[in-house]
Amino acid sequence: MAQIVDRFEGEYAILLDGEDVLEVRKTDLAEGIAEGDAVFLGKDGIWQKDAAETKNKQERIAKKMNALWE
């Protein structure tokens, strides 16, 4: 399961992993990572965006939102 970037607080990114919360320094994130992105820890110790999981998550949320409005 990928971690999700919940928010940024000061110099930290707050990641959600199920019910666990991780605080990661922004300097340990790859460039361009935003709130809501799914991320994974790369072999180099830098958190990378999981583009496929981020897209899947966005599509699941869009389907749920559309179902609410139908």
The string of DSSP letters for 9-70 reads ETTEEEEEETTEEEEEEGGGB-TT--TT-EEEE-TTS-EEE-HHHHHHHHHHHHHHHHHHH-
Q: Where are the domains of the chain?
A: 3-69
pTM score, whole prediction? 0.83
**What CATH fold (topology level) applies to the domain 3-69?**
OB fold (Dihydrolipoamide Acetyltransferase, E2P) (2.40.50)
pLDDT in tens, 8-62: 999 999 999 988 999 999 999 999 999 999 999 999 999 999 999 989 888 988 8
